[in-house]
Amino acid sequence: MYNNVKTIQGLKGKGPTLGGEKLGLNPLCGYPEDLSIADIKKILDDCPSVEELVRKYPVEGNFLADRGYLTYSAFAEANKNNNPLTVRAIFDTLNTSTDVCNPETAQEKLDSYRENPDLIKGELLKSKLIGFSSIFVLLFLLGLADVIAFGHAKDGWFPEWPGAQNLPWSLFDADIGLGAIPQYWVSDD
């Protein structure tokens, strides 16, 4: 995800643009600059069907691409003469934090964007918020699992260890840190 953010930030000012009126992206989308509506319309007007994209720009060695799924590399190759930031933004609305998307969903969304390009704003924000929320939830669950596992290990094997009161700083304390745990180990003696 970090590399994806870095790549998107690196697309600022790159490639051709038609300029003109801007879409009005929410800053939470994480894009370095707003998108030109003219660039969006050009991509949508020039873009063939998803089925054609998958057939014309195959991605070797990708299991899902072999099954008809649309990949970012195929979409980008089909739009190589367009603004790369806009290409990335449109593709990001088709999926959630991945470079592969369902062909039916992609086609439906591209068709709806042709009718109303303003829909891209909401879909892009939704995609980014889902991606960032999933990372936050994952980190929270990992932290919770760590706290629960360590708490039960402490209660079961070294319940009288005084270092548990000031975690995590007590782990590095010379008197009550990790090195002192063997003194408090529960034994059958």
Q: What percent of the chain has pLDDT over 90?
A: 59
pLDDT tens digits, residue range 166-189? 878 888 888 888 888 888 888 766
Name 73's Cβ contacts closer than 8 Å, sequence gap at least 6: 57, 59, 99
* CA dist., res. 174 & res. 82, Å (int): 60
Name 72's Cβ contacts closer than 8 Å, sequence gap at least 6: 88, 91, 99, 100
Query: Which of 45-54, 90-99, 180-189 bottoms out in mean pLDDT, i.e. has the lowest?
Result: 180-189
Assign 4 a pLDDT band (cuts: 50, 70, 90): confident
Give the predicted TM-score (pTM) of the model.
0.78
